[in-house]
Structure formats: C-alpha cells, structure tokens
Amino acid sequence: MGGPHLFLLGIWWASWILSAISLVVMLSLVFRRIRSDRRAKRRERRKQELTALTLQALDDPQASLDLSLGAGDADIAGEIVRGLMNVVRGDAHEKLKEMMRGLGVIDIYLADLGARNDIKRLTAINNLALFDEPRVRDALADALETASPQVRLAIAFALLDMTGELSIAALIDRLEIGTVVTSRGLRQLFIRMIERDLASMLEIARHSENRQVKTLIIGALARTSDYRVVPELSALARDSDTDVRAQAMRSLGLLGHPAAIPTVMAGLADDAWEVRAQAAVAAGRIGISEAVARLADLLGDSHWWPRFRSAEALVKLGATGIAALRDAAALPTPGGQAARAVLLENSLE
C-alpha cells in the first residue's frame, strides 16, 4: 500500500504547488496591469499639463516655457510638438522648436540614438527629424553605422527631409542594400531619394554592381513621371542581368512613353522569359500596334507567363489584337488555352 499511497500523496502536493504557482502568476499579471494603467493615466495627465503650458507659451509672444523635464517628459514633449506642427502656422513652428531646444529635448533624443531598444531609437529619430541643424544631421548619419535595418530606414527618411548636404551614394552604401528584404518602405525611400537627387541616382544605376540597388532605382524611376528618364531605362533594359532588364522593361511600361517602343520590341525577343513577359505588358500599356504579330507569336512561347501577358496585351491593342487572339484561341495549344482564358475574362469569347 505504501507505493500507491506515496504516489497519490505526490500528486496531491504537485497539484497544490501548481495551484500556488498559478495564483502567483495571476496576481503578478493583475499587479502589472494595475501598474500599467496607473502609468498610462499619469502619462496622460502629464501630457495634458505640458500641452496646456505649451499652448500658453505659444499664445504669448513674450512667454517662455520655463519647465524642467522629468524622466519621461521628452517623449511626451516630442509627441505634443509633432501634433501641433500639423495645426500651427508661421512663426509658431519655429517657436515650438525653440521651446523644445530650451528644454533640452534635442540632447535627450540624441542620447536615445544609442539606446539598445529600437522602439526608443525610432521615437528619437522621429522627433529629431523636426530639428534640421548640423549636429542633428551628423548624429543621425553616424547612427547609421550601428543601426538595425528598420532604424537605418527611418534615419534615411529623416536625412532626406533635411536641407544639409547629403551624399546619396554614401547613404545607399550605409543602408547595406542586399542584406535586408525589399519592403514597401525601402521602395518608398528610393522614390524619395530620386526626388532629392535624380542625377546621382541615375549615375548609381549605371555603375552599381548591386542588383537590388539597381532594381530599386529602376522601379522608383517609373514613379517620377519624368519622360527624360526613358533613355536611361532603355539602356538599362540591355543590362546583362535578367532581373535588371525585366525591371527596366516594367518601368518603361509604367511610364508609357512611345520613345520606349524600339526597346520594348527588342524585349519581346529577349532570351529571358521574365523580360519577354514584361515587354508584352509594356507593349499593351504603351499601345504598340506594330507589336501584334510578335505578341501573337509569343502565344507559342515555352513559358506560361509570356503567353498569358501577350494574350492580355493583344486585348489592349484593340480590334487587330483581339482578332489575332481569337485565331489563336481556335488552336488546341497552350497558347490557345491562354487566349481562350483571356477572351473569357474580358467577355470577348
């Protein structure tokens, strides 16, 4: 009897211990929630106080905000300033920033650039972006060396918004493109860099050996609506790298300028199916009527995407293209299948 009795006793004690642990965990979670709620309420009260003082100082041109910031006031002050920047006008902008300088906010945020917590660093970057001055620009540029990809991206956006001299090539080099996944934010950054310095971006696209950098620049060029970049894109459409050629062809299609017609026609016969597919899309977007015969031939391509994109392009080219598509649809071939699918999708069957 001793063995079963000791086993049951062990289970009983284990259940008590587990119950006690559960109770302790539950109580700790409750206390953490209470502390968090109290902290949030204190922060909100402090924000209201600082907002009132800030607005009072803005209303009185002779007033100054004579207030010592506590440990958590820097983030609150920055939040207030960012919010007010969207609603105040004229001299109030500069006065807001001058008040923040007087409170030592810049020094606090500069120190936060070295924090290990990325959230804290991102908050500091967003607030420092309000202060376009040499020491801030220098500190942000230096912080690029040790930042995570997310933080480097935020710093790059901040630097692009500032008026100081900026080497786009050096900025791209420090971003270490190729070590991070291409994201929407990264694509938007390259659009902003082109807006800042188109000439430098074109030079980088011509000579960079980094495929991701070149494709990002080429993709951003399509968003400029500046037809002067068509010759540059046409040259890049002859690059030795398939991805670069395909991206250049895609951008030419998005720009839709007829000066790209010779390049697109050549792209329809490219060795890489990725380029042929993008060239077919471009032909449809630009409306290249002389491409009908070549697009009809591409319905017999060995790859599905060129067949499908050619069928879509033929629909966009009007009656002649649709007639060619209907002729192909009558054939029991992969191209005929693609033609039938596109005709059906466009209610042209």
Tens of pLDDT, residue by residue, the chain (349 residues) = 556 667 777 777 778 888 888 888 888 888 888 888 888 888 888 888 777 777 777 776 565 555 555 656 766 776 777 677 767 777 777 777 777 777 677 888 898 888 888 888 998 898 888 888 999 999 999 888 777 888 889 999 999 999 888 899 999 988 888 766 668 888 999 999 999 999 999 999 999 999 999 999 999 999 888 899 999 999 999 999 999 999 999 999 999 999 999 999 999 999 999 999 999 999 999 999 999 999 999 999 999 999 999 999 999 999 999 999 999 999 999 999 999 999 999 888 7
What confidence score (pLDDT) does residue 55 get? Answer: 75
Q: CB within 8 A of 68, min separation 6: which ones? A: none
Q: CB within 8 A of 334, min separation 6: which ones? A: 300, 304, 307
What confidence score (pLDDT) does residue 237 get? Answer: 96
The answer to the question of residue 42 being in a domain is no
Cβ atoms of 134 and 166 closer than 8 Å: no
What confidence score (pLDDT) does residue 74 get? Answer: 66
Tally of domains in the chain: 1
What confidence score (pLDDT) does residue 174 get? Answer: 86
What confidence score (pLDDT) does residue 140 get? Answer: 93
3-state helix, strand, coil split of the chain in percent (to 5) is 75, 0, 25
From CA 176, how far away is CA 77, in angstroms rounded?
A: 33
The answer to the question of residue 312 being in a domain is no
The answer to the question of residue 153 being in a domain is no
Cβ atoms of 121 and 151 closer than 8 Å: yes
Domain span at residue 80 reads 47-60+68-146
From CA 248, how far away is CA 42, in angstroms rounded?
A: 55
| 317 secondary structure, DSSP code | T
Cβ atoms of 299 and 267 closer than 8 Å: no
What confidence score (pLDDT) does residue 61 get? Answer: 58
What confidence score (pLDDT) does residue 2 get? Answer: 57
Q: Which of 235, 269, 240 is nearest to 252 (CA)?
A: 235
Cβ atoms of 83 and 126 closer than 8 Å: no
What confidence score (pLDDT) does residue 301 get? Answer: 94
Q: Which of 157, 70, 78, 62 is nearest to 110 (CA)?
A: 78
Q: What is the largest CA-CA distance in the chain?
A: 97
Rg value, the chain, Cα = 31
The answer to the question of residue 116 being in a domain is yes
Q: Residue 44 burial (CB < 10 Å; 0-12/13-18/19+)? A: exposed
The answer to the question of residue 104 being in a domain is yes
The torsion region of residue 90 among left (phi > 0), alpha (psi -120 to 50) and beta comes to left
The answer to the question of residue 97 being in a domain is yes
What confidence score (pLDDT) does residue 24 get? Answer: 85
From CA 218, how far away is CA 231, in angstroms rounded?
A: 12
The answer to the question of residue 313 being in a domain is no
The answer to the question of residue 84 being in a domain is yes
